[in-house]
Amino acid sequence: MTSVAGRKRAMRARLTGEREGLGGPARAAADAAIETRLMGLPELAHAEVILTYLDMGSEVRTRGIIQAAWDAGKDVALPRCAPASREMRWYRVTSLEGLVRSPFGVEEPVPRAECEQPLCGMGRMLALVPGLAFDVAGYRLGYGGGFYDRFLATFTGVSVGLCREAQLSADLRAEGVVAAHDLPVRMVVTERRVIVA
């Protein structure tokens, strides 16, 4: 019998290929619609701090969302990953200039103590969560590092998965790729709908 880890590896390989195969124009159109739906959410309007990943490759783009959040007067924080502890620390940014590339190839903020964003007692927060797939219950298939699983375990704000419809699953648990430590996000936003999990 194939383990959860084995099924996750196989599904990651398949979904990565499918996502790359969508093509630039199709991804761009879907991402623009996702951004529009996200920016219309009252949860985002009420948030004071936006914790977000910075897109790379064929991920749902977040750069326009980041700029819109700045334009709305919100604080924006990007994560910096600590591989040894599998934890992320968040740092407020006012520009996407001066980021540094991590060993994973992700652009990260420079870890300045005065810019570190505490995750409690600092206003209403909304976190944008990446993934290769989400389902209608909010579960996600990530990239295998475990960073967001640890983050979601203690995050008390609103967590939102960004997902194109092409990679939205009906039930990742039924597909056998959800482990006991995997936690759902509160909402999933696609180009067609907003799903409250």
* Tokens (6 digits) for 97: 């200039």
Kindly report the pTM of this predicted structure. Answer: 0.92
How far is residue 133's CA from residue 178's CA, in Å, rounded to a whole number?
A: 11
Q: How many domains does the chain have?
A: 1
pLDDT at position 6 = 83
- Residue 29 in contact with residue 22, Cβ under 8 Å? no
pLDDT at position 81 = 87
* CATH number, domain containing residue 14: 3.40.50.10420
**What residues make up the domain containing 150?**
4-196
How far is residue 49's CA from residue 3's CA, in Å, rounded to a whole number?
A: 38
Q: Mind listing the pLDDT tens digit of every residue in the chain (197 residues)? A: 568 888 888 888 887 878 877 778 888 999 999 999 999 999 999 999 999 999 988 899 999 999 999 999 999 999 998 877 778 999 999 999 999 998 778 899 998 999 999 887 667 999 999 999 999 999 999 887 788 989 999 999 999 999 999 999 999 998 888 888 889 999 999 999 999 98
Neighbours of 5 (CB within 10 A): 11
- Closest listed residue to residue 51, CA positions, set 193, 181, 156: 156
pLDDT at position 136 = 95
